[in-house]
Amino acid sequence: MGDILHALPAVTALRAALDQYHPNSWIGWAIEPQWSPLLCAESCGQNCERGPQMPIVNRLHRVPAKGWARKPFSLSTIHEIRQLRSALRAEQYDICVDLQGAIRSAWIGRMARAPRMIGEAAPREPLARWLFRERIATTGVHVVEQANEVVNAVFKENLPYQAPALPVDPVAENWCDKWLAERGVERFVLMNPGAGWGAKCWPAKRFANVAAELSPLGFATVVNIGPGESKLANAFSSDPSARIFPMTGSIGQLIACTRRASLFIGGDTGPLHLAAALNIPVVGIYGPTNPARNGPYETRALVLRHPASKRDHTRRSEPETGLLTITVKDVMEAAQQLLRSQEAAQ
């Protein structure tokens, strides 16, 4: 999820340039099926055309690569890979841009047989560079900046930054309005206590304490509970006066809910980058990942991180030591500062 959201500003800029200078050009995107709602509204089904429900791309190639990795030699995997290869080649792409920098993504890109294959000179997985025909040396610190530099190679000029365009799904938007109305929620803060691995997770009980302190200020709390994170909801009070509402929804529903939030609070995870992409103020709680590289981008944000925290992507189950030094008071102060600035701007 984060990789796609970090790539979206660059592809949005490319889309704008193509619309201006090459209006008949179009963009395809190879994507894991579970993340396709970030590009195309779920209610569209498989045959959505470009528009508000699919604002950036003209074609989606749904690639269940993780499923292939679990059964690489099965007949179904071989059949699906052949189908993908045929679909990519049938589109006759002129250029393939790899913004993930992984061997898997580069290999999928090469299957398209585009004359130009562009990627980073120093990708995330170093071996991937040998699959690129054009290797772009990037100087940006943030991954969004690095993606912009790679995409700039398409026209060999610097494209202006574009805020990422996300699909508007009328079904999800209506669901969100109804869900909030049924609970009497107007102003709310969106929290995401989960993360990719335990070392990035600020304790859920501390999130709950922040939520309890937000209630007297007139803000309800909507808690996004992702797949496999149901136990996190247990840390939050079931007292109706606390105004805390766990939400387990689809990606489209999460997009709709995020659009309506006054503030987002969470760690380095996909929903944080979604809030930043939608220009929602963000309190980022960081530990083993570097916010200079992976922090909220182009939105009002306050990032909390202990100076002793060091970049470490080891999938440890326990919260990183520096992360635990961040207190409920620290987060509340950051939240109140952003909420005050939000009210002053309105």
- The C-alpha atoms of residue 284 and residue 302 are separated, in whole angstroms, by 6
Name the token pair of 199: 């070392």
- The C-alpha atoms of residue 220 and residue 236 are separated, in whole angstroms, by 13
- The C-alpha atoms of residue 94 and residue 97 are separated, in whole angstroms, by 10
| Residue 283 three-state SS | strand
- In order of 35, 207, 209, 282, the CA distances from 195 in angstroms are 16, 13, 18, 16
- The C-alpha atoms of residue 274 and residue 155 are separated, in whole angstroms, by 28
Name the token pair of 54: 């699919």
What string of DSSP letters covers 26-87? --EEEE-GGGGGGTS-GGGTT---SBTTB-S-SEEEE--HHHHHHSTTSHHHHHHHHHHHHH
CA-wise closest residue to 121 among 94, 109, 96, 139: 139
How many Cβ atoms from other residues are within 10 Å of residue 252's Cβ? 26
Per-residue model confidence (pLDDT) at position 202: 95
| Residue 218 three-state SS | coil
Do 254 and 271 meet the contact criterion of CB atoms below 8 Å apart?
yes
CA-wise closest residue to 188 among 253, 262, 252, 240: 262
How many Cβ atoms from other residues are within 10 Å of residue 121's Cβ? 12
Q: Which residue has the tokens 């997770």?
A: 201
- The C-alpha atoms of residue 169 and residue 275 are separated, in whole angstroms, by 17
Name the token pair of 344: 């002053």
Containing H/E element for 8?
Answer: helix 2-21
CA-wise closest residue to 113 among 101, 100, 96, 129: 96
CA-wise closest residue to 110 among 89, 83, 79, 82: 89
Per-residue model confidence (pLDDT) at position 101: 94
Do 58 and 50 meet the contact criterion of CB atoms below 8 Å apart?
yes
> What's the DSSP call for residue 145?
H
Per-residue model confidence (pLDDT) at position 36: 95
Per-residue model confidence (pLDDT) at position 33: 94
The reported pTM is: 0.94
- The C-alpha atoms of residue 307 and residue 149 are separated, in whole angstroms, by 29
Domains of the chain in start order, with CATH, are 2-152 (3.40.50.2000), 170-345 (3.40.50.2000)
Per-residue model confidence (pLDDT) at position 173: 97
Per-residue model confidence (pLDDT) at position 196: 85
The letter for the amino acid at 36 is: S
Spell out the per-residue pLDDT of the chain, length 346, in tens.
999 999 999 999 999 999 999 999 999 999 999 999 999 999 887 778 899 999 999 999 999 998 999 998 999 999 999 999 999 999 999 999 999 999 999 999 999 999 999 999 999 999 999 999 999 999 999 999 999 999 999 999 999 999 999 999 999 999 999 999 999 999 999 999 988 888 999 999 999 999 999 999 999 999 999 888 888 888 887 777 789 999 999 999 999 999 999 999 999 999 999 999 999 999 999 999 999 999 999 999 999 999 989 888 888 889 999 999 999 999 999 999 999 987 777 7
CA-wise closest residue to 96 among 136, 132, 138: 132
What are the phi and psi torsion angles at 177 (to 5°)?
-60, -45
Helix 251-259 vs helix 170-182: angle between axes, to the nearest 10 degrees?
60
If you compute the radius of gyration of the chain from its CA atoms, what whole number of angstroms results? Answer: 21
